[in-house]
Amino acid sequence: MTIAIIGGSGFIGTRLIKRLLAAGHTVKILDKQDSKYYPELRAFADVRDIVSLKKELQPYFDCVINLAAEHRDDVEPKSLYDEVNVGGAENVCEACVELGIKKIIFISSVAVYGFAPLNTDETGAINYFNDYGRTKWLAEGKYRAWLSSDRNNSLTIIRPSVVFGEQNRGNVYNLLRQISSGFFPFVGNGKNKKSMVYVENIAAFIEFSLNNGVGEHLYNYVDKPDFDMNSLAEEVYTILGKQNHKIFHWPYPLGLFGGLCFDLAAKITGKKLAVSSIRVKKFCANTLFDSVNIQKTGFKPPVLLKDGLYNTVKYEFIDKVQGHNFYTE
Catalytically annotated residues: 132
Interacting residues of 322 by C-beta distance below 8 A, sequence separation 6+: none
Interacting residues of 1 by C-beta distance below 8 A, sequence separation 6+: 25, 26, 62, 63, 210
- Contact between 289 and 116 (Cβ < 8 Å): yes
Q: What is the DSSP secondary structure assignment for residue 112, as one 8-state letter?
A: G
Among 67, 54, 57, 61, smallest CA distance to 2 is for 61
Among 302, 309, 290, smallest CA distance to 124 is for 290
Biggest CA-to-CA distance, the chain: 61
SS3 160: strand
